[in-house]
Structure 1
């Protein structure tokens, strides 16, 4: 049996420069922060020690910057935009951590298409996004330019 399942993701041709894509939201938990520390071995006290954090401007442990970056990738996938059509991440530029993320904060990604380029291969194209990670209060906690390669729509 030959089952041809179409990806739910968007192809290169489906993106328009200037459009914004907003992902679903996700609440960050202390468990997320501790699990990331265990996974990476980054047990810096600013992420893991409540008593130490009382002496910092944050007052409590904050999420690791790369943890939030990784969750941004998951939220983008959850939006469906790259499910079955993404070929790969080509680069992250101007990645900035602008504000802390703590247990209980809810984040989402707002990604604006800033550039599209065809490649020398007819089955793929490159799309660049200005990505912002936005908390429940509307503040931007991380931002970056992400450049990704997507499949082009198959010719039928």
Structure 2
């Protein structure tokens, strides 16, 4: 007999407005930046050309904004709250790039529940988070509001 393990993630009912989550940390590397350029096809010089970057305010290549966003999604998964209970990403609002992420920067995802609403379907509910990408020095590199759909218990 095969048994399916219970999800370790949070169900809709587990979230409370004001609740905060801090993810594990991850260091962004040049390999991440180059791999993302290859994956996305975005070879903009601000990400790939050291000599060009010496003429910018950054002085060196910076990570793509969507790369940092993708890593934030992975960090939320690594925190465990989505594992087996997340159904869908519904919306991103107010996505802002507030500071560069460079090779060697270590980032964490700080999330705070700002809203939750039961769906008209009894097996799911909507949770809205204020997300911030925080660098090792405490500065905020990105922020946004993310709306996600989660499973409900017993649904």
Structure-2-length-normalised TM-score: 0.99
Structure 1 segments of 4 or more deviating over 6 A? Answer: none
Q: Deviations over 1:90-134 (max 9, x none)?
A: 000000000000000000000000000001100000000000000
Q: What SS does structure 2 have at the residue aligned with 1:83?
A: coil
Aligned twin of 1:76: 76
CA distance in 1, matches of 2:86, 2:117: 15
Q: Which residue does 1:97 correspond to in 2?
A: 97
Q: What count of residue pairs does the alignment treat as equivalent?
A: 155
Cα distance in 2 for partners of 1:137, 1:47 equals 22
Residue of structure 1 in register with 2:41 after alignment? 41
In structure 2, distance between residues paired with 1:90 and 1:40: 22
The one-character-per-residue Cα deviations of 1:53-83 (angstroms, maximum 9, x if unpaired) are 0000000000000000000000000000000
Give the TM-score taking structure 1 as reference length: 0.98
- The equivalences for 1:128-139 within 5 A come to 128-139=128-139
Which residue number in structure 1 is paired with residue 50 of structure 2? 50
Structure 2 equivalent of residue 11 of structure 1: 11
Shift of 1:154: 1.8
Cα RMSD between the aligned structures? 0.7
Correspondence 1:98-117 to 2 at 5 A: 98-117=98-117
